[in-house]
């Protein structure tokens, strides 16, 4: 034979009695025999020339690759003893070896050198090709004839070609990539036709090569990630022989495709034995047609079977459908070779990334490369958590023998791959039992232990099921208990277990970890949910003493996923009644109760013609179902199970074009023809991932004691070793030892979306709480890949709402993607965005608000667009894509807005529509009052619900408190440390680190202009900033600028003066926290940096990073109470900290800052670490940009209302940012950033009308609009209507203020713009003009209703409104009135039309919170909370005097013009 690459020759001596010192075995699809072991102390071991895994190719120059295993072993055994034997060896796949001879100390020594072969992408592709070639055709097909005729001259010009296919077992194997064939003259060919010579020129994907009428075409079956990297030259002829005038060729990755006019394929008679049918696509189909014999209208066309990567054991000559299991392909305990592993991994990754439409993406390619590198280095790789979850669910989906697969997507996956001991396995199993049993309400789940990495290092559960009854064989041959457990019961007894010899003794768990000897564990009795069997009519039935366990947890199968074999992966569903009633109770090899029941029923059992067996088995099954249902234990009858499987079959046909199903197993054991599945044709095939049978653990286990003597013995002697030599360690644990088994195993994802950090802060607090019992991951929505959502276990959402219903910038994409998942038909129709206006149509009836606050919906009411969509979508099905996800949502917002917490409401509804299970109703935290208390109640309730869901209630404190998290401040766990020689960051860098999702850059103040007259009681200023050309500050008209203010220096000094134990507030310090760490021997404590603030001085922290003006939270007041030295003050602080009503009253009366609190409680000893750790972070203020970047290059203008007010308690306050801007010097640096507002930009078509409504500082963005329009008109030539150019559309401004002389800001600019034709009209509403009635902008809109209707409806114009929420609501009502008065629309149609304008981005709102009426709104909220009213009175329903104080002139916002509020409303 030709010498194989990397082969080498050695010489061994065959000793008498010892032999060659090697053990061999045969492997399928591998030439020769393989050396599996080298005897200890033998010559073969000492010289080091032979290693396990080597393949023997020749023995004394005799080629054994053509021999089968028996012939080769006979040859080796027949070699004479005391002679030398020459062997040609090849190292195992993935390695290369050679023999070196070296001279050492005058002696020639021979040494073997074995190195790992470098894995390349090319070798992976070749392996993929070779592996699936081998597994698809286990017997070479070149034995089977394919007769081909010569071409006819008359048909030689025809171009039609027919693709030839290979059929296995009468079914087309479209995925077979290796085809062997034999060419011979056809019997009906002309006599003078010469034998056609084969063509060996290989064709590429779409190329063909032709020679003598023969065509060979490449059939690529590799996945699309691997295929592009394969070199076409790798396809080559493997073998050619001329036997008896017939050419035999075997080509890899090829298929013969003859032209129909050049050859005819006569019918090939079926032969005896293992023969495959070969036919052409002219007579075959690319799918299997499956009919339902009872319903001619049901026909399935299965194409999924083409993806089967492993053939069935059945052939055309024999059917093995009723065989329980098939022999393993490899030796027990042997891991896959590298190339085979990579072939499976490549296929699995293709399935995984295709499942969420990421096939062939960069992420897919990167992951494949990671796997290749890992396999190259370690011989294996690890699945990610998401891959594991996907694989486990898909394996259940692929299980052809399971009738209950309709629930496959709800499988709960517990990742136990971190476990290394049997005790860890035991604890995980106990918690699996407890979780899945769920007090009888069975939940499907799987626990996955580490996969096989090395031979004989498996994790195994020796039990066939977690819970099974023992069987005791008596001396007379009878069995007490379950006869199917007799053998395993003996194993347990030999391991030290002592049963009670009862009929229903629960067997212990026998577990082995990492190939070690097994340990035995008792299952706590309280975990075993057993059902006493009784009958609804026969009272005597309970006297039979029958019972059965409710949890069918299979534990002996292997989970094969991505080439990795998880030998311990127990899983469970729930029982179908016939499994217990018919099989377990009635089988003669089980409890055999059939005749006993029949006799108690009085049936004639003397002859089968009385059908006593049928009558008795039905009653037994009735008893089983009745008994389970009586105790609320999950069970399904066989008719319901059959119907559910038919639904599953229909779903799978629609989604995957096929469903593997084993008819023999799917049809129930009784009433077969009465069920729907009996009449349905099915096709069985093997897909990966899958669950497979494996050898019993006790038959293949290699015992560690006396291992050297037993290692080469046959596994059949395992019983003897157990009986005489092995007594395993018997360890019994009570249920109390399972305290933390599930902790850190159940994943919990916490998602947040925020603008200023409040939601992130709450998410961090929630993370600390949930980390007590769960494996927590906290992520911002913009960082999360929504495709992983279906693989999550628990999802907790903390989401703020920006403005009047918008998503925060870092949550908008997540909302869109979630919407696309819930309503894919919308996306398919081209609807690409989800905006705030959709939220207005959400129903909030089911939402839970803080105590006393009623649901606050939008103007649209309950019935809405999303509700209608939900009713039409399949996602409402309980088997939705997120059906296995548990979730809860906490929404943040301000009840001053009509669309209160709209983004959180949307996320909550979408998760429900996708099938996720809500474990705690949504709670809305109102920034106007009670938000912190609402969050505390929600988080504690959600935590308890999550623990109860996953059976963790007893593993945590009975009353977990949100304040008791690891991050809660205490004097002994937090400290400030001086940073010697350290410099604090510049303010912009520090703020960027603090707000990691923002890039803060410096701006220089150029000028400040007072816009209102001196006689006005209010101040509005125009701030001009120099952006210094920063790219980060590029903007468009309508965008916002965020500014980080500076606290008042006097307030900072007041706080510094109260600090205790701080010698120098101007020294750079860092905050540290004392945390626990697990050391080698014990848990240790270490001080770690608290990254909440960058390193800085205490004065800088109080001035720039911390908010010292907002009223302290209740938790902060609680800390102050502990630091108070006066008993009276301590009690008063405790009341505020624990009584939410008292706290809200106190906050409403005085709106106190931290300075006010310290003044009111002088005995409080203020600790600096408390302020640094617990005070809220300084939030930025948003202002609408009031300039055009083309009109004022390099500049940003802001229109700011200066806020000053006196609280009800008589305390004077001023706005933090507006007061700072009003007093700063020119040249001062402002930390800023730009926030795009794409929904508030000018229309791309400048010919459409633009109507702008902006009272007071709401005019700010419109100043940028008319400046931009002026630039556009200057830059663009006059429209030439002859060439289709349209003139600029009209631009109308509706402005409102108090008086014309004192408050009409930008009066000169608007007059000039109107005179220049930039503004077509300017309307001013005066609400406080002497001797005139009060006029508001909505009144002017109604007066010009006809014009507005024409511009909006007739000309497709855009409508913009900027101002406070109550004004915007009044404008919305005015537009409804205009539509009603100028058209035939109904009220509902008018509302729908306005919502449609918003959805199409023609109605633009930039709404901000109010400040001068904050106290008023807070008062209403407080009163409603006390009175438990059912609705929150909208401001727009107040009287005229109320509205006078609600800044109809818009000049009283803290955040200046158009502040788009999120969870932080504007503070006074």
Strands 471-473 and 519-521: unpaired
Residue 1008 annotated among the catalytic residues of the structure:
no
Residue 579 annotated among the catalytic residues of the structure:
yes
Please, which residues bridge with residue 1022 across strands? Answer: 1009, 1199
Contact, 74 vs 34, CB < 8 A?
no
d(Cα 647, Cα 598) in Å, to the nearest integer? 36
d(Cα 1067, Cα 1055) in Å, to the nearest integer? 16
Query: In sequence order, what E strands does 64-205 have?
Result: 83-90, 95-104, 107-116, 164-168, 171-172, 178-183
Residue 562's region, left for phi above 0, alpha for psi from -120 to 50, else beta, is: left
- What does the buried/exposed string (b/e) look like for 878-893 if buried means 16 or more CB atoms within 10 Å of the residue's CB? ebbbbbbbbbbbbbbb
DSSP single-letter state for residue 253: T
How large is the C-alpha radius of gyration of the chain?
A: 40
Please, which residues bridge with residue 471 across strands? Answer: 481
C-alpha pair distances (Å), 1055 with each of 747, 851, 974, 1058, 1152: 42, 34, 19, 5, 14
Q: Is the peptide bond before 705 cis (omega within 30 degrees of 0)?
A: no
Its sign, for the CA torsion 1414, 1419, 1425, 1431, is: negative
d(Cα 538, Cα 542) in Å, to the nearest integer? 8
Burial environment of residue 205 by CB neighbours within 10 A (0 to 12, 13 to 18, 19 or more): exposed
d(Cα 408, Cα 1096) in Å, to the nearest integer? 54
CB contact set of 191 (below 8 Å; sequence gap of 6+): none
Residue positions counted in the chain: 1468
Residue 1304, Cα to own-chain centre: how many angstroms? 55
CB contact set of 1323 (below 8 Å; sequence gap of 6+): 1292, 1293, 1294, 1295, 1337, 1340, 1344
> Which helix (H) or strand (E) is 292 found in, with range?
strand 288-292
Strands 886-893 and 530-532: unpaired
C-alpha pair distances (Å), 788 with each of 12, 236, 238, 390, 718: 57, 42, 44, 10, 45
DSSP single-letter state for residue 148: B
Q: How many other C-beta atoms can be found within 10 angstroms of the C-beta atom of residue 1427? A: 9
Find the catalytic residue in 263, 402, 947, 1217: 402
Query: In sequence order, what E strands does 342-452 have?
Result: 412-415, 445-448
Contact, 169 vs 320, CB < 8 A?
no
Can you read off the two tokens belonging to residue 41?
């102390």
Can you read off the two tokens belonging to residue 134?
């081998």
Contact, 337 vs 94, CB < 8 A?
yes
Contact, 1325 vs 1296, CB < 8 A?
yes
> Residue written as tokens 């509902």?
1388
d(Cα 24, Cα 36) in Å, to the nearest integer? 5
Find the catalytic residue in 579, 619, 927, 1463: 579
Find the catalytic residue in 497, 574, 665, 1266: 574
CB contact set of 1278 (below 8 Å; sequence gap of 6+): 1287
Contact, 1106 vs 761, CB < 8 A?
no
Active site positions, annotated: 402, 405, 574, 579
């Amino acid at each position: 034979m030709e010498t194989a690459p990397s082969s080498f020759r050695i010489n061994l001596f065959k000793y008498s009695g010892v032999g060659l010192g090697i053990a061999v075995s045969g492997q399928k699809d591998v030439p020769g025999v393989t050396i599996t072991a080298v005897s200890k102390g033998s010559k073969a071991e000492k010289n080091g020339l032979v290693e396990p895994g080597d393949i023997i190719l020749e023995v004394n120059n005799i080629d054994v690759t053509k021999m089968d295993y028996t012939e080769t072993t006979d040859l080796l055994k027949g070699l004479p003893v005391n002679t030398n034997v020459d062997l040609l060896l090849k190292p195992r796949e993935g390695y290369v070896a050679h023999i070196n001879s070296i001279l050492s100390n005058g002696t020639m020594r021979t040494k073997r050198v074995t190195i790992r072969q470098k894995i390349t992408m090319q070798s992976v592709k070749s392996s993929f090709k070779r592996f699936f070639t081998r597994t698809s055709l286990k017997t070479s097909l070149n034995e089977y004839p394919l007769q081909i005729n010569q071409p006819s001259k008359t048909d030689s010009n025809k171009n039609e070609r027919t693709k030839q296919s290979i059929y296995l077992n009468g079914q087309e194997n479209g995925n077979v990539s290796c085809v062997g064939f034999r060419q011979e003259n056809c019997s009906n060919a002309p006599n003078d036709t010469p034998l056609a010579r084969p063509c060996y020129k290989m064709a590429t994907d779409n190329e063909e090569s032709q020679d003598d009428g023969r065509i060979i075409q490449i059939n690529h079956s590799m996945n699309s990630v691997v295929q592009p990297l394969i070199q076409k030259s790798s396809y080559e002829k493997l073998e050619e022989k001329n036997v008896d005038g017939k050419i035999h060729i075997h080509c890899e990755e090829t298929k013969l495709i003859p032209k129909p006019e050049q050859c005819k394929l006569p019918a090939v008679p079926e032969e005896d034995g293992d023969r495959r049918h070969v036919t052409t696509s002219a007579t075959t189909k690319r799918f299997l047609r499956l009919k339902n014999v009872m319903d001619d209208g049901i026909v399935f066309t299965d194409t999924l079977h083409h993806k089967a990567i492993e053939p069935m054991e059945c052939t055309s000559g024999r059917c093995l459908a009723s065989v329980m299991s098939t022999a393993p392909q490899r030796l027990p305990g042997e891991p896959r070779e590298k190339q085979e592993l990579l072939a499976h991994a490549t296929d699995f990754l293709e399935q995984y990334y295709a499942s969420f439409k990421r096939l062939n993406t960069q992420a897919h390619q990167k992951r494949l490369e990671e796997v290749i590198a890992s396999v190259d280095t370690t011989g294996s790789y690890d699945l990610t958590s998401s891959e594991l979850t996907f694989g486990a669910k898909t394996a259940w989906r692929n299980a052809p023998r399971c009738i209950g697969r309709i629930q496959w997507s709800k499988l709960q996956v517990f990742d136990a791959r971190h476990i290394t001991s049997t005790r860890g396995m035991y604890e995980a199993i106990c918690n699996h039992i407890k979780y899945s049993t769920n007090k009888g309400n069975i939940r499907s789940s799987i626990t996955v232990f580490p996969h096989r990495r090395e031979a004989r290092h498996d994790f195994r559960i020796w039990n066939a099921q977690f819970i099974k009854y023992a069987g005791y064989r008596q001396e007379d041959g009878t069995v007490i208990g379950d006869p199917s457990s007799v053998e395993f019961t003996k194993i347990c007894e030999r391991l030290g277990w002592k049963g009670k010899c009862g009929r229903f003794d629960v067997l212990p768990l026998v577990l082995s970890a990492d190939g070690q000897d097994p340990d035995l564990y008792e299952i706590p009795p309280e975990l075993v949910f057993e059902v006493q069997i009784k009958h609804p009519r026969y009272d005597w039935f309970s006297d039979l003493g029958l019972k059965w366990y409710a949890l069918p947890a299979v534990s002996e199968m292997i989970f094969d996923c991505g080439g990795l074999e998880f030998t311990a992966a127990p899983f469970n569903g729930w029982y179908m009644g016939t499994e217990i009633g018919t099989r377990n109770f009635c089988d003669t090899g089980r409890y055999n109760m059939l005749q006993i029941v029949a006799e108690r029923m009085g049936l004639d059992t003397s002859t089968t013609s009385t059908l006593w067996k049928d009558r008795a088995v039905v009653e037994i099954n009735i008893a089983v179902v009745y008994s389970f249902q009586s105790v609320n234990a999950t069970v399904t009858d066989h008719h319901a199970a059959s119907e559910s499987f038919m639904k599953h079959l229909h779903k799978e046909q629609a989604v995957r074009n096929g469903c593997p199903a084993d008819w023999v197993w799917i049809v129930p054991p009784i009433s077969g023809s009465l069920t729907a599945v009996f009449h349905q044709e099915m096709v069985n095939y093997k897909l990966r991932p899958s669950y497979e049978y494996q050898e019993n653990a006790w038959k293949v286990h290699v015992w560690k004691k006396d291992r050297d003597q037993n290692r080469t013995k046959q596994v059949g002697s395992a019983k003897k070793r157990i009986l005489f030599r092995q007594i395993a360690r018997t360890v019994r644990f009570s249920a109390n030892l399972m305290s933390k088994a599930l902790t850190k195993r159940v994943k919990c994802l916490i998602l947040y979306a925020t603008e200023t950090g409040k939601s992130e802060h709450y998410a961090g607090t929630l993370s600390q709480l949930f980390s007590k019992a769960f494996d927590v991951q906290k992520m911002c929505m913009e960082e999360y890949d929504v495709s992983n959502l279906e693989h999550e276990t628990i999802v907790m959402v903390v989401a703020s709402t920006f403005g009047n219903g918008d998503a925060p910038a870092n949550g908008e994409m997540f909302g869109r993607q979630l919407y696309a998942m819930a309503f894919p038909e919308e996306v398919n129709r081209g609807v690409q965005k989800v905006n705030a206006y959709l939220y207005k149509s959400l129903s909030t009836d089911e939402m839970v608000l803080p105590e006393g606050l009623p649901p606050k919906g939008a103007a649209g009411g309950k019935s809405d667009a999303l509700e209608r969509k939900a009713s039409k979508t399949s996602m409402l099905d309980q088997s939705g894509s997120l059906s296995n996800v548990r979730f809860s949502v906490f929404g943040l917002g301000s009840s001053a807005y009509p669309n209160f917490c709209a983004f959180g409401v949307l996320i909550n509804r979408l998760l429900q529509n996708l099938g996720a299970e809500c474990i705690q109703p949504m709670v809305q935290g109102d920034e106007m009052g009670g938000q912190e208390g609402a969050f505390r109640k929600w988080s504690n309730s959600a935590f308890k619900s999550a623990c109860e869901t996953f059976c963790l209630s007893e593993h945590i404190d009975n009353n977990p408190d949100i304040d008791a998290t690891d991050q809660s401040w205490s004097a002994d766990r937090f400290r400030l440390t001086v940073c010697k020689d350290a410099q604090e960051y510049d303010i912009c860098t520090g703020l960027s680190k603090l707000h990691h999702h923002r890039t803060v850059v410096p701006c220089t103040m150029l000028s400040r202009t007072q816009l209102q007259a001196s006689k006005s009681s209010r101040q509005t200023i125009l701030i001009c900033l120099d952006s210094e050309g920063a790219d980060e500050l590029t903007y468009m008209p309508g965008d916002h600028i965020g500014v980080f203010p500076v606290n008042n220096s006097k307030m900072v000094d007041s706080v510094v003066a109260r600090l205790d134990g701080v010698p120098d507030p101007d020294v750079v310090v860092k905050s540290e926290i004392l945390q626990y760490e697990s050391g080698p021997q014990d848990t240790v404590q270490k001080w770690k940096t608290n990254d909440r603030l960058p390193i800085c001085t205490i004065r800088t922290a109080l001035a720039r990073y911390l908010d010292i003006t907002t009223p302290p939270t209740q938790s902060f007041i609680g800390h102050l109470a502990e630091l108070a030295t006066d008993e009276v003050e301590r009690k008063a602080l405790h009341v505020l900290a624990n009584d939410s009503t008292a706290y809200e009253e106190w906050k409403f009366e005085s709106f106190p800052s931290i300075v006010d609190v310290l003044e009111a409680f002088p005995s409080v000893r203020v600790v600096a670490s408390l302020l640094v750790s617990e005070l809220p972070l300084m939030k930025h203020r948003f202002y609408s940009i009031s300039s055009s970047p083309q009109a004022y290059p390099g500049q940003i203008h802001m229109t700011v209302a200066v806020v000053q007010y006196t609280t009800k308690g008589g305390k004077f306050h001023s706005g933090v940012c507006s007061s700072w801007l009003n007093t700063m010097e020119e040249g001062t640096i402002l930390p800023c950033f730009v926030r795009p507002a794409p929904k508030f930009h000018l229309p791309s078509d400048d010919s459409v009308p633009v109507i702008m409504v902006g009272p007071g500082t709401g005019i700010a963005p419109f100043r940028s609009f008319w400046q931009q329009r002026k630039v556009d008109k200057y830059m663009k030539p006059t429209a030439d209507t002859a060439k289709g150019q349209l003139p600029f559309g009209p631009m109308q401004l509706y402005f409102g203020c108090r008086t014309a002389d004192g408050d009409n800001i930008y009066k000169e600019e608007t007059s000039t713009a109107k005179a220049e034709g930039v503004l077509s009209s300017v309307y001013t509403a005066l609400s406080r003009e002497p001797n005139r009635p009060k006029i508001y902008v909505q009144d002017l809109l109604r007066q010009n209703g006809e014009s507005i209707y024409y511009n909006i409806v007739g000309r497709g114009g855009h409508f913009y409104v900027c101002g406070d929420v109550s004004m915007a609501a009044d404008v919305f009502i005015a537009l409804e009135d205009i539509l009603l008065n100028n058209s035939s629309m109904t009220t509902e149609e008018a509302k729908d039309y306005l919502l449609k304008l918003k959805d199409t981005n023609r109605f633009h709102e930039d709404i901000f919170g109010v400040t001068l009426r904050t106290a008023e709104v807070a008062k209403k909220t407080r009163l409603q909370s006390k009175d438990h009213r059912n609705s929150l009175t909208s401001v727009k329903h107040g009287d005229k005097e109320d509205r006078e104080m609600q800044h109809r002139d818009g000049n009283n916002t803290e955040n200046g013009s158009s502040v788009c509020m999120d969870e932080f409303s504007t503070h006074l």
